[in-house]
Amino acid sequence: MTSNEFVSKLILAWDKDIPSQVREEWLEYLAGFTHDELDQIYAGVRRNCKLQPRIAHAQEAAEELGLISKRKQQATGRKQHTWTPTDCPRCGGEGLICCIYRHENEIVFGEIRQHRQLIAIQPYHVPLERDKYDSSFYTYVFRCSCAAGAADTLSRGWPVYEPRKHGSDSRQLSAVSQGAPIEPAKPDFQKLRESILGTGDTDEIPF
């Protein structure tokens, strides 16, 4: 199946629509898999998920099938990728970075909306400490936007990281350089309440 067919099947199988932004994130994630691999991943999430799966569940299925390690081999292309350490805070000179995401819910004008939250960025060669993340987290691999990311030994199948498109936070990037993932910021319920109800006296209205 194609990526679009995969997403359509998720909607039909669980009888629940997927917001357009999340749908685009699904398509971006699935783009690196072949049609046969998408068939296998879909079978995995269909078997293991009672509720409509998230990207993290698809990644778990892909890992169980050995497809993630296959993508990693493809990421370095057919030539041997060698690199020299640099002072790049994202990739360290390797040219590849791993972005760690999870989906967050927020209330906008009384409606719950889901968006992708960038949690941390780390050099691709640094092992992911999975005990720090639950099943709601998932990862993307990008070529770094520094000069190392343009190396001809890196597959062009991996997109170049763009902060505006893929998420950026100065706290996260500074922490990555120290090797420490950032916890997502806690919501300010007072501001959230005021955005919905106004700035008047809301003491009698529970939140």
Residues 70 and 90 placed together within one structural domain of the fold:
no
Considering only 10-14, 19-23, 104-108, 200-204, which range has the smallest mean pLDDT? Answer: 200-204
pTM, two decimal places:
0.48
Please report whether residue 205 resides in a domain: no
Q: What's the pLDDT band for 170 if we cut at 50, 70, 90?
A: very low
Give the H/E segment covering residue 102. Answer: strand 96-108
Domain count, the chain: 2
- In-domain check, residue 207: no
Dump pLDDT digits (tens) for 34-87: 898 999 999 989 888 888 888 888 888 888 888 876 665 555 445 677 889 999
130-145 pLDDT, tens digit each: 777 776 788 888 899 9
Q: Is 103 helix (H, G, I), strand (E, B) or coil?
A: strand
Taking alpha carbons only, the member of 117, 109, 113 closest to residue 137 is 117
- End of a domain among 25, 54, 75? 75
Q: Residue 70: CA atoms inside 13 Å, Cβ hemisphere, count?
A: 11
For residue 23, the enclosing domain spans 1-75
**21 and 82 belong to one structural domain:** no
Residue 13 main-chain phi, psi, to 5 deg? -65, -35
Whether residues 37 and 132 fall in one domain: no
What's the first-to-final CA gap in the chain, in angstroms?
A: 44
Domain boundary among 45, 75, 105: 75
Mean per-residue pLDDT of the chain: 75
Pair (71, 81) in one structural domain: no
